[in-house]
Amino acid sequence: MGNRTGHIFHVSTFGESHGGALGAIVDGCPPGIELDLELMKRDLERRRPGQSDLTTQRKETDAVEVLSGLFDGITLGTPIALLVRNRDANPAAYEDFKDLYRPSHADYTTQKRYGIRNWQGGGRASARETVARVAAGSIARQVLQELAQIEIVAWVDQVGEIGSQCDPDTVTIHAVDKNPVRCPDAEAAVKMEALIRQVRSDADTIGGVIRCVARNVPPGLGDPVFDKLEADLAKALMSLPAAKGFESGLGFSSVGMRGSAHNDVFFNDQGQIRTRTNHSGGIQGGISNGMPVLVSVAFKPVATIFKPQETVDQAGESAQIKPRGRHDPCVLPRAVPMVEAGMALVLCDHLLRLRALRGDDFLKV
């Protein structure tokens, strides 16, 4: 029913925004991997609400409980159950408009799909669901590091009309986390932060773009036709709340180029086949080519704004709504670890698929 992803590295998530807890079941993780729960804590800390005054002030610790699948910190190869309890839920904040359809939310569409919906903060449609994905993504990230030394870094590349100048080949998580906007371009970050604060004071919201790079990805990941690597990445990242656009490599900007300029020319780099440019973002024919995998995700403005808006109720009668509650004026800073998790889950699944196909020589493609 849309709550599970992966072919070998299976992940199922559960829970609602203002329910008792959220969590994930990770099945297919290889045995013998030493999991660093402090790294998982770091990933969840980067996603949690209330981390700065640029985000929602909901106070959640997002402490994860590992209920199964580990022994002395080592994966057993059995299902890993992860649980994150809600500590600061406030469903009463939504009581006054439980019969109204909030503009650009999933209220109406969920009602039409299931005939019932959890009106307490959006239920499964809430970005709160991503706490489970980030926890599972942390496991995937550590498997990728253990098996292939793959490194994943995402950053805020644009907020509104303010863009940045960041080099995907050199950007680091340390540089990303130097400011609350999570943009490693310090000059652009100052402007982005000012814009987000202005938007919040206007009782409004704003969107932007996150870029993500995965380094040391071996060639051979991806399984045509319908499981192309960039197709699976697009599905994983477009399933994030508020995601509205996806690019691989140069993406839409490549339409203004000629093939002679866009083609990534091969050369022998000290015994390794590389390309002189990386316009295709490390993926050709839906399969990784050994270059860094580079993608971008566009996020729309958060749908909850604190201004009166026209809407209708469940009977179709005209109404006016002015939401309350605790919401982000811009989802981008907290979405950075979400994008990294989405990238990690897809790459981990495809890496294990490649290993299943080629055995222990999967890195010698």
pLDDT tens digits, one per residue of 289-312: 999 999 999 999 999 888 899 999
Distance from C-alpha of 7 to C-alpha of 132, rounded to nearest angstrom: 18
The kind and range of the H/E element at 342 are helix 332-358
State residue 20's pLDDT score: 87
State residue 270's pLDDT score: 92
The kind and range of the H/E element at 173 are helix 173-176
Q: Where are the domains positioned within the chain?
A: 4-361
State residue 327's pLDDT score: 76
State residue 316's pLDDT score: 94
- Residue ranges, the chain, pLDDT below 70: 1, 49-53, 55-60, 89, 91, 324-326, 362-365
State residue 50's pLDDT score: 64
Q: Would the CA dihedral through 274, 276, 279, 285 be positive or negative? A: negative
- 283 forms bridges with which residues in the sheet? 288
State residue 89's pLDDT score: 65
161, exposed or middle or buried, with CB in 10 Å at 0-12, 13-18, 19+? Answer: exposed
The CATH code belonging to domain 4-361 is: 3.60.150.10
pLDDT tens digits, one per residue of 96-117: 888 999 999 999 999 999 999 8
DSSP secondary structure of 112-145: HHHS----STTGGGSGGGHHHHHHHHHHHHHHHH
State residue 148's pLDDT score: 96
Beta strands in the chain (DSSP E): 4-5, 10-15, 21-27, 64-66, 70-71, 74-75, 80-85, 151-159, 162-163, 208-215, 243-248, 266-269, 272-275, 283-284, 287-288, 293-299, 309-312, 318-321
Assessment of whether the complete model's pTM goes beyond 0.85? yes
